[in-house]
Amino acid sequence: MIRSILRPFFDAFRGLDLLLDGGVAALARVFLGLAIGWWLYVPVHELLHAAACVTAGGSVSRLEIDALYGGRLLARIFPFVVPASDYAGRLSGFDTRGSDLIYLATDLGPFVLALLPGVWLLRRAVSRRWACLFGLALPMALAPLLSLTGDAYEIGSILATHLPPWTSEAARSLLRGDDLIKKFGELQEASGAPPWGGYALSASLGVAWALATCALGGAIAGGLGERPVPPRSIALSEAPETRGA
């Protein structure tokens, strides 16, 4: 079980180690793919939040996407998109109609890409030695881990506030949110006895969810024929003839 949980780290680091056999050119292709992948992933991630909310029965009124990530263009297509944000992107206006199931669906929506094609694509790129594609796949494959201070914390906080003693409206207001660091500051400034236990549990549940999601993505990739990235000694002995971008 521990190996399954740590597999995403092994896939990423072993994959990069193998691809760097191609030298500086391979590293440049990885970074190029990563830049493109991140630029594409940010708006897609936010749009999937909105789509998941609406599909689950909620509504969306404001989706912030920084102009750097195509916010201005997307604002012409989607009336709820605003091309400005303090973050790269953020779903700041949505109505769950009081349903935490809709709330969870909204948070979980973008992470279908980690399950497929994220991890599968990352492993495929390593097995074919496609450095650019490896970089492009990284944001999708590791998205749950990248969200530990954002969506993952929010998912954990939704779950934690269904447990006593954090079920009150006051505790929910203090604990729920998509910014772990901002919530820390709010709790420091809160009067009375801040629910630090709920905060710690929310963060812990977020970490557990992120690791489990990456592990599930790895299991799906394995089921589709892409094995975990092996150690260098094994990988080099099985290296395919295919090389390239």
Measured distance CA(241)–CA(245) in Å, rounded: 13
Query: What local confidence, expressed as pLDDT, does residue 236 receive?
Result: 60
Mean pLDDT over each residue of the chain, to the nearest integer: 93
Measured distance CA(131)–CA(20) in Å, rounded: 9
Residues of the chain with pLDDT under 50: 241-245
pTM metric for this prediction: 0.91
pLDDT tens readout for residues 33-69: 999 999 999 999 999 999 999 999 999 999 999 999 9
pLDDT tens readout for residues 106-138: 999 999 999 999 999 999 999 999 999 999 999
Sign of CA dihedral 213, 85, 47, 157: positive
User: What is the layout of strands, in order, in the sheet containing 59-65?
Assistant: 81-82, 59-65, 89-95
Query: What local confidence, expressed as pLDDT, does residue 85 receive?
Result: 83
Query: What local confidence, expressed as pLDDT, does residue 191 receive?
Result: 86
